[in-house]
Amino acid sequence: MKKYISGKILLAMIIIAPALFVHGCDKQEKCGCDGDVLFSLTFDTFSPVDYSEIYVGGEGAVMSFRIGYDTYTFCNPVEMYEVYKKLNPDHQIKIAGDVFWDCQYVSSASQSSYYYYYYKYYNIRVTDMKSHLYGK
């Protein structure tokens, strides 16, 4: 009888013990423009980019810019294209908005390559853009 009870206790411990040590899994951040915000760019914390460094394709259907090795693709290019056209092309541009992981980048980066360690791709929902006279 004692052996039978200790066997049940041992079996219960084998089943319950892993549950005690597993703390759950971390929630993976949602990618894309409707995903989880990674960080925000503000006029105060973000260095301006040259007007000519903002890529515009298809009459504003696609807009993006690079900072170092990182590429930011606009979530709302059509809306921001109108703002962009009004900016002074001789000035630098300050950009503000919320930044998300680009879904294609997330899928490709999971293949684990050094390329994805250095070159990151983000989506940005731009909330504002303004001219910035260099040095002022």
Q: Has residue 6 been placed in a domain?
A: no
pTM above 0.85, yes or no: no
Q: Has residue 120 been placed in a domain?
A: yes
C-alpha to C-alpha distance for 136 and 132, rounded to whole angstroms: 7
Q: Is the pLDDT of residue 121 over 90?
A: yes
Q: How many domains does the chain have?
A: 1
C-alpha to C-alpha distance for 39 and 101, rounded to whole angstroms: 10
Q: Decide if 68 contacts 120 (C-beta within 8 A).
A: no
C-alpha to C-alpha distance for 44 and 93, rounded to whole angstroms: 12
Q: Has residue 55 been placed in a domain?
A: yes
Q: Which structural domain range is residue 91 located in?
A: 29-132
Q: Has residue 100 been placed in a domain?
A: yes
Q: Has residue 10 been placed in a domain?
A: no
Q: What is the pLDDT of residues 37-49, one digit of tens each?
A: 999 999 988 889 9
Q: What is the pLDDT of residues 87-102, one digit of tens each?
A: 999 999 999 999 999 9
Q: Which two tokens stand for residue 32?
A: 């894309």
Q: Has residue 20 been placed in a domain?
A: no
pLDDT of 46: 84
